[in-house]
Amino acid sequence: MKNSPFGYVMCVSLMFATPMVIGAWQAHPTPVIKPIPSPNAPKNENAPRGLDGPELTVANPKQALDQQNQVEIRMEVQRLFAMATELKDDVDKTNSNTMLNLTVLKHAQEIEKLAKQIRDRAKK
């Protein structure tokens, strides 16, 4: 079995077939995969952090919050003024010789609560 003709044929065919298989494998170019751009990517490659828009700054969000806070404080102060006016009218309607009624006390508590809310918001 050492010198069998089948072994020689196999060895010779392998010697001839191997370069052909390697050449065929190298003949097929590997496909070039191009990266797909992200839909969120900026259109301008030199764009700053804001993705083609104005550059984001740290102060802008704080300024927006401050402006919103001021608007809310003004609205609450107007509400406080209206409640204080109602309380004044209620007190003027009551007789000074009698005790203040319960609605006047509730109005005063609501005014006090709103005033504390305004004070806390103004501290921020």
Instruction: Dump pLDDT digits (tens) for 13-70.
Output: 666 666 666 666 566 666 677 777 777 766 666 665 555 555 555 556 677 778 888 8
- Give the predicted TM-score (pTM) of the model: 0.48
Q: How far apart are the first and last CA of the chain?
A: 97
Cα dihedral: 91, 95, 97, 103 (round 10): -50
Instruction: Dump pLDDT digits (tens) for 67-93.
Output: 888 888 889 999 999 999 998 888 888
The domain spans of the chain are 5-123
CB 35 within 8 A of CB 45: no
Upper half-sphere CA count for residue 102 (Cβ side, 13 Å): 0
CB 81 within 8 A of CB 114: no
